[in-house]
Chain A
Amino acid sequence: AQRVTQPEKLLSVFKGAPVELKCNYSYSGSPELFWYVQYSRQRLQLLLRHISRESIKGFTADLNKGETSFHLKKPFAQEEDSAMYYCALSGQEGAGSYQLTFGKGTKLSVIP
């Protein structure tokens, strides 16, 4: 069964400090990995996805197939980064390509 694990429920960092939100996964095929974010009083929205190889709001994530990880990183945290972050995966073909499996989420709190 596919699974996404986010080991930290809460992560607190000081403004300007580096941020790393951890995500590990298990999947029998070739997964596609995503990070979603929910800011206070806003809807869940896509932050970035592995297939795009993009950097959004200074965040990057590298897929490590050997360690089955997709950690989210930012070199200098900003107060506006405080939010709930969810790692998710989908398959790349068939029914799996329409199904997202989410982790339980990590709440990031950036201390001024």
Chain B
Amino acid sequence: NAGVTQTPKFQVLKTGQSMTLQCAQDMNHNSMYWYRQDPGMGLRLIYYSASEGTTDKGEVPNGYNVSRLNKREFSLRLESAAPSQTSVYFCASSEGLILLYEQYFGPGTRLTVT
């Protein structure tokens, strides 16, 4: 099992460009999450999908959109990238409620916006 995979691993964008970060999991998990991590900071939740067909905002959703394409895939879209979105982005998945089920993390995507 690959677990949680993310593409791409690295990306450089110019201000105003758009892009989609892809995430897939092969563990048949119900819940999926997108986080960002800025230097010297902890991870902050952007959006999450508790189950297929639902998405909800996390702590820092502004400037992002998400799509739960199916049970396996959860994408994060930046419509008009800004330098403040320079960060490392992590996708994660879990069977369900965090207090009951472990979250499994992807390797991260390092995004630079110039």
Interface, chain A (partner B; CB < 8 A): 4, 9, 32, 34, 43-46, 49, 51, 86, 88, 90, 92, 95, 97-105
The number of residue pairs between A and B whose CB atoms lie closer than 8 Å in the complex comes to 57
Q: Mark B42-60, 1 if CB is under 8 A from A, else 0.
A: 1111001010000010110
Report the count of interface residues on B (CB-CB < 8 A): 24
> Would you mind naming 27 contact pairs between A and B with Cβ atoms under 8 Å apart?
A32-B98, A32-B99, A34-B98, A43-B104, A44-B43, A45-B105, A46-B103, A49-B99, A51-B100, A86-B42, A86-B43, A92-B99, A97-B99, A98-B31, A98-B50, A99-B48, A99-B59, A99-B98, A100-B43, A100-B45, A100-B98, A100-B103, A101-B59, A102-B43, A103-B42, A104-B40, A104-B42
Tell me whether B102 is interfacial, beta carbon within 8 Å: yes
Interface SS majority for chain B: loop
Q: CB-CB < 8 A to A104: which residues of B?
A: 40-42
Interface SS majority for chain A: mixed
Query: Nearest CB to that of A92 among chain B residues?
Result: B99
Query: Nearest CB to that of B98 among chain A residues?
Result: A90
Contact assessment for A43 and B106 in the assembled complex, using a CB-CB cutoff below 8 Å: yes
> Across chains A and B, which 5 residue pairs bring their CB atoms closest together, nearest first?
A102-B42, A32-B99, A44-B105, A90-B98, A102-B43
17 more CB-based (< 8 A) A-B contacts, given A90-B98, A99-B59, A100-B45: A4-B42, A32-B98, A32-B99, A34-B98, A43-B106, A45-B104, A45-B105, A46-B103, A51-B99, A86-B43, A95-B56, A97-B98, A98-B56, A98-B97, A101-B59, A102-B42, A104-B40
Tell me whether B90 is interfacial, beta carbon within 8 Å: yes
> Which chain B residues numbered 86 to 111 have a C-beta less than 8 Å away from chain A?
90, 97-100, 102-107
Contact assessment for B43 and A43 in the assembled complex, using a CB-CB cutoff below 8 Å: no
